[in-house]
Amino acid sequence: EPEVTQTPSHQVTQMGQEVILRCVPISNHLYFYWYRQILGQKVEFLVSFYNNEISEKSEIFDDQFSVERPDGSNFTLKIRSTKLEDSAMYFCASRTGPGTEAFFGQGTRLTVV
Amino acid sequence: RKEVEQDPGPFNVPEGATVAFNCTYSNSASQSFFWYRQDCRKEPKLLMSVYSSGNEDGRFTAQLNRASQYISLLIRDSKLSDSATYLCVVSGQGGSEKLVFGKGTKLTVNP
């Protein structure tokens, strides 16, 4: 069964460092998303990506964040200068189109120390 | 008002019980509705989509009431493996395709 894969599963980084979280969405999906979940809180939308550009972003997704689809398979989230409050689980998701079911990767646990 | 509201629980039920979860959403323009389950520190996993006419998948039944902006999930004959947090998810508000999550309802099924 096709699945969304994310790497790494866990990343520890020092405050101020840059991190890149990687995702391989399901191959025939066209819409890609990043979400995050701080421990004990709800899943929060960060950004959506369609047709090689950002289609929507939340207030959380400030200038420290960027996304890229560098080739036909990978979808990355970069955080330029991590803060302690960026510590969270980051989930990538993909879906075929509007209104369809979205599938999530297993997440990357980011710990900023 | 929160975009998607759920009773956080926790719900503690014995095996074999029937349990119902409710969810309300604030944006009447919402188009798509889903239930996901999330195990501790894992990713949300799709349980089922919710259709206007209501739909059933085995022991799970989902209902949507657009007029009341209310979604429900019924689990019959609960199993130990049903223990998880159940997330109500809404999408398609005013052209936006982002998924908006409720905070979830925690269910524990006891032997």
Over residues A48-102, the pLDDT tens digits come to 999 999 999 999 999 999 999 988 789 999 999 999 999 999 999 999 998 899 9
- Most distant CA pair in chain A: distance in Å? 39
Which of A44, A99, A104 is nearest residue B32 as measured by Cβ atoms? A99
pLDDT digits (tens, 9 = 90+) for B65-107: 999 999 999 999 999 999 999 999 999 887 888 999 999 999 9
* Interface touch B99/A102, C-beta < 8 Å: yes
pLDDT of the residue at B74: 98
Percent of all residues in chain A with a pLDDT value above 90, rounded to a whole number: 93
- pLDDT band at residue A13, thresholds of 50, 70 and 90? very high
- pLDDT band at residue A2, thresholds of 50, 70 and 90? confident
How many Cβ atoms from other residues are within 10 Å of residue A74's Cβ? Answer: 13
Q: What is the number of CB-based contacts under 8 A between chain A and chain B?
A: 56
Alpha helices in A4-108 (DSSP H): none
Q: How far is CA A102 from the centre of its chain?
A: 14
Instruction: Give me chain A's average pLDDT, please.
Output: 96
Instruction: Give me chain B's average pLDDT, please.
Output: 95
For range A35-43, the mean pLDDT: 96
Above 80 in pLDDT, residue A107?
yes
- pLDDT band at residue A47, thresholds of 50, 70 and 90? very high
A51 and chain B in contact, CB less than 8 A: no
* Interface touch A56/B49, C-beta < 8 Å: no
- Half-sphere exposure of residue A99, counting CA atoms within 13 Å on the CB side? 8
A91 and chain B in contact, CB less than 8 A: yes
Which chain B positions have a beta carbon within 8 Å of A44's beta carbon?
A: 101
pLDDT digits (tens, 9 = 90+) for B28-67: 999 999 999 999 999 999 999 999 989 999 999 999 999 9
Above 80 in pLDDT, residue A1?
no
